[in-house]
Structures are given as structure tokens and as C-alpha cells.
């Protein structure tokens, strides 16, 4: 027995106006300062049900820790919302998921939560997630990533019950996204699609979502980066959520295991870190994922298609200006080499190691880290 899990998805032009039709009275909004500065919080506000009372937590940091979340939970309890809206990139949406659990089940320790524990959420509130980037897929997944800076790692809080009631994909929120963020987040989504499609836990639903996601993103991203084309942006936004649904229902692979590990050692955008390793990991997996990789190769526009999926990804990344070597990410080679054993150790702890199409031992992971030019 297997499940396909997904929030209800509201998408397209004016999707945010869906909020004005809801009958909630006390609405908590979880977001970050950049969203406020970009004027996106005002757009959200103008779509909230009239007469609702709102509390805004607008200071979620990038890559929030457990204490970043617990520090804010008292405020949430006092406000007593009947709806929680997480708006932003992965950090704000993941913080909203964690706050939702803490508010519903204050008796639980966040790390006692596993997919096997019945939480009985939704006694007090509902959860809506609104992405303002096209990449993390967090609005569609049933996990929240919280950093643990003391141990240099990331912890995952996972339960099918933390999947949002609704994900709202309104292209107006990504209209003015800077090029670098558009590129990095889309590369994250491409990596979700590739890894979700070829995971050892792949299934017909995760495959279908990944294929369509990859088509939508690779056929539309160059136009978005070239001239900010709005229709193309909308397609990339939808594609990113589909890629999220793919990996959320099958799991990620070695590029994410390695990318998370790099991100724990160096300050680097998540999409840039997983994208750096993706072509190497795909080459490594090639003979173990022949059928899946051929399907994925065909999802790219013809002009980028190389002999293999790895070659195709490299061509596409070159076209969009995505870093293919360490130097372009700004990481110092000597410092990188000094951290290699720590990075291998951390990568080995990731679920992505279990679900990657090819098993990789410590030596092979080390060689993949070293192979990056
Ligand atoms: Fe990712």
C-alpha cells in the first residue's frame, strides 16, 4: 500500500483572492523581512477575509533553527489563530509548518515527531502555504527542515499531517524575483524532479509529476531569465510545485545528500549547492537508472539534449548561467578540501543515500565531492 499526498492547490492569476472567500477570524502570517520589503505582505493583506484579526511574524531568518521556532511559539499560543499562513521561500514555509505543529501539540517535542506518530493536528487551526520563489516545493511537501547550528547539520521534521491544507501558487508573487534567486530556486526544482523520478522509492505518481515539472521548467526558464515573461514565470512556478510533489512522494537522492552537507559547512544557496553536484551524481548513477534518465533527457528542449542526461543538464545549466564549478560558487578550494571528511560523514546520514538509484560508499562519496572542478 502506498499513498500520493498533496495539498489542495489553488494556482494561476489571482489565486491569492481565494483567501478572501475563506471564513477564518484569527489569521497568523509567518514570513520574513524580505517579503515585507518587496511589498508582498501588502498583497497578501489585501486578499485576506475582511474583518479578520491578523498577527504577522515577519522575522523568520534564513534556515531557521529549532530555537528560532520555539522562541516564537508563545506568541502564537497567545494569539490563538484559526488559520496559519506561511508565506515566503522554504524557510518561512517550514517555520510555519513547525509553528503549526507546536501550536496544535504543545505537549510534543518537535523531534519526537516522525511519519509514524499520529499527531491529531487540525483541532485548532488549518495551514496554508504561499511560495514566493519557484523551487523549494515546501508548499507541497510533508517535511520541514530546521537547522542545528551547534552540530552543523539539518534536522527534518516529517509527518504527513503537516502537509498544507492549501498551497496557493500566485504568479504575481514571483514576478519581481531577482535573476539569481530565480535561477537557483529553479535549479533546486530541476534537482527535485530528477531525483524524485529516479529514486528507489519512485512510483507512477512521482514519475508523472517529475516529467511534467521538468518539461515546464526547462521549456520556460530561459524566457523568464531573458525577459521576465509572465506566462513563463507561471509555468515555472507550477513546475516547481510539481517537482515538490514528486520528491515528496518518492524521496530525494545523492545530489541533495551532498548539497545539504555542503550547505551545512559553507554559506551557499541551497539550489546552487545541489545543482553543483547534480551532473556528477547523474553520471555516477547513469548505468543504474538508464530508463528513467532517458525519459528525463527527453523532457529538456531538443537544443539542450546531449548524449546522456548528465551532458544535457550541463548544457542547460551553461545556458542559464548556473555555476558548474566550485570557483563560480565563491567557495575557496583549500577550505573545501579541508572540510571533505566532515562533508562525507554528513552526506552519509541523509535519507538521499538510501533512496539514490545507486548505492554509494564513503570512498565513492568522497570521490564525487573531489570530482567537482
Ligand atoms: Fe531541494
The SS3 call for residue 202 is: coil
Q: State how far the Cα of 281 lies from the Cα of 13, in Å rounded to an integer.
A: 37
Q: Indicate whether 3 belongs to any domain.
A: no
Q: Indicate whether 189 belongs to any domain.
A: yes
Q: Which of 19-28, 161-170, 257-266, 303-312 has the lowest mean pLDDT?
A: 257-266
Q: How far is the CA of 25 from the centre of ligand 1 (A)?
A: 34
> Where is the domain boundary, 139, 173, 207?
173
Report the chain's mean pLDDT, rounded to a whole number.
95
Q: How far is the CA of 322 from the centre of ligand 1 (A)?
A: 15
Q: Indicate whether 281 belongs to any domain.
A: yes
CB 26 within 8 A of CB 53: yes
Q: How far is the CA of 12 from the centre of ligand 1 (A)?
A: 23
Q: How far is the CA of 123 from the centre of ligand 1 (A)?
A: 31
Q: How far is the CA of 71 from the centre of ligand 1 (A)?
A: 26
Q: How far is the CA of 332 from the centre of ligand 1 (A)?
A: 23
Q: What are 62-84's pLDDT values in tens digits?
A: 989 999 999 999 999 999 999 99
Q: Indicate whether 32 belongs to any domain.
A: yes
Domain of 349, CATH number, reads 1.20.1090.10
Q: How far is the CA of 191 from the centre of ligand 1 (A)?
A: 7
Q: How far is the CA of 108 from the centre of ligand 1 (A)?
A: 27
Per-residue pLDDT, 282: 98
Rounded average pLDDT over 163-182 = 96
Number of domains in the chain: 2
Q: How far is the CA of 193 from the centre of ligand 1 (A)?
A: 10
Q: What are 123-143's pLDDT values in tens digits?
A: 999 999 999 999 999 999 999
Q: Do both 136 and 222 map to the same domain? A: no
Q: How far is the CA of 264 from the centre of ligand 1 (A)?
A: 14
Q: Do both 291 and 194 map to the same domain? A: yes
Q: Indicate whether 208 belongs to any domain.
A: yes
Q: Do both 114 and 20 map to the same domain? A: yes
Q: Indicate whether 2 belongs to any domain.
A: no
Q: Do both 214 and 336 map to the same domain? A: yes
Q: Do both 162 and 217 map to the same domain? A: no
> Where is the domain boundary, 173, 197, 224?
173
Q: How far is the CA of 63 from the centre of ligand 1 (A)?
A: 13
Q: How confident is the model at residue 115 (pLDDT cuts 50, 70, 90)?
A: confident
Q: What are 338-353's pLDDT values in tens digits?
A: 999 999 999 999 888 9
Q: How far is the CA of 321 from the centre of ligand 1 (A)?
A: 19
> Where is the domain boundary, 173, 193, 228?
173
Q: Do both 168 and 184 map to the same domain? A: no
Q: Indicate whether 263 belongs to any domain.
A: yes
| Spatial strand order in the sheet of 26-30 | 8-11, 166-169, 126-131, 83-88, 26-30, 53-57
Beta bridge pairs of residue 66: none
Range of the domain at 116: 8-173
Burial of 301-327, coded b for 16+ CB within 10 Å and e otherwise, reads: eeebbeebbbbbbbebbeebebbbebe
Q: Do both 315 and 192 map to the same domain? A: yes
Domain of 61, CATH number, reads 3.40.50.1970
Q: Indicate whether 1 belongs to any domain.
A: no
Q: How far is the CA of 243 from the centre of ligand 1 (A)?
A: 10
Compare 176 and 111 and report the one with higher pLDDT: 176
Q: Do both 115 and 253 map to the same domain? A: no
Q: Which residues surround ligand 1, an ion (CB under 5 A)?
A: 188
Per-residue pLDDT, 113: 86
Q: Do both 155 and 190 map to the same domain? A: no
Q: Do both 168 and 220 map to the same domain? A: no
Helix (H) or strand (E) holding 11: strand 8-11
User: Could you tell me the three cell numbers for 19?
Assistant: 483567501
Q: How far is the CA of 14 from the centre of ligand 1 (A)?
A: 27
Q: Do both 294 and 261 map to the same domain? A: yes
Q: Do both 104 and 80 map to the same domain? A: yes
Amino acid at each position: 500500500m502506498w499513498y500520493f499526498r498533496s495539498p489542495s492547490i489553488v494556482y494561476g492569476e489571482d489565486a491569492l483572492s481565494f483567501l478572501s472567500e475563506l471564513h477564518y477570524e484569527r489569521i497568523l502570517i509567518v514570513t520574513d523581512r524580505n517579503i515585507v520589503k518587496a511589498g508582498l505582505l501588502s498583497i497578501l493583506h489585501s486578499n485576506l477575509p475582511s474583518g479578520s484579526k491578523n498577527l504577522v511574524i515577519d522575522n523568520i531568518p534564513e534556515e531557521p533553527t529549532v530555537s528560532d521556532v520555539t522562541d516564537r511559539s508563545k506568541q502564537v499560543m497567545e494569539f490563538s489563530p484559526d488559520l496559519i499562513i506561511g508565506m515566503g521561500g522554504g524557510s518561512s514555509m517550514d517555520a510555519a509548518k513547525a509553528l503549526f505543529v507546536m501550536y496544535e501539540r504543545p505537549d510534543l517535542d518537535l523531534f519526537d515527531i516522525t511519519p509514524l506518530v499520529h499527531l491529531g493536528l487540525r483541532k485548532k487551526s488549518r495551514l496554508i502555504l504561499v511560495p514566493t520563489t519557484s523551487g523549494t516545493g515546501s508548499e507541497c511537501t510533508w517535511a520541514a527542515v530546521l537547522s542545528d547550528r551547534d552540530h552543523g547539520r539539518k534536522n527534518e521534521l516529517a509527518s504527513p499531517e503537516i502537509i498544507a491544507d492549501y498551497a496557493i501558487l500566485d504568479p504575481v508573487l514571483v514576478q519581481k524575483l531577482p535573476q539569481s534567486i530565480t535561477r537557483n530556486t529553479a535549479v533546486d526544482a530541476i534537482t527535485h524532479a530528477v531525483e524524485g523520478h529516479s529514486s528507489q522509492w519512485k512510483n507512477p505518481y512521482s514519475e508523472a509529476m517529475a516529467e511534467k515539472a521538468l518539461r515546464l521548467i526547462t521549456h520556460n526558464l530561459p524566457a523568464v531569465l531573458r525577459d521576465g515573461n509572465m506566462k513563463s514565470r507561471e509555468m515555472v512556478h507550477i513546475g516547481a510545485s510539481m517537482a515538490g510533489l514528486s520528491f515528496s512522494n518518492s524521496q530525494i537522492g545523492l545530489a541533495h545528500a551532498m548539497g545539504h552537507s555542503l550547505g551545512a559547512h559553507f554559506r551557499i544557496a541551497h539550489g546552487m549547492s545541489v545543482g553543483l553536484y547534480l551532473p556528477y551524481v547523474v553520471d555516477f548513477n547513469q548505468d543504474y537508472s538508464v530508463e528513467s534518465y532517458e525519459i528525463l533527457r527527453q523532457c529538456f528542449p531538443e537544443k539542450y539534449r546531449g548524449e546522456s542526461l548528465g551532458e544535457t543538464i550541463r548544457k542547460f545549466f551553461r545556458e542559464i548561467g548556473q555555476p558548474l564549478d566550485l570557483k563560480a560558487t565563491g567557495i575557496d578550494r583549500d577550505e573545501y578540501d579541508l572540510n571533505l571528511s566532515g562533508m562525507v560523514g554528513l552526506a552519509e546520514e541523509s535519507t538521499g543515500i538510501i533512496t539514490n538509484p545507486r548505492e554509494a560508499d564513503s570512498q565513492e562519496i568522497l570521490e564525487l565531492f573531489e570530482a567537482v572542478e
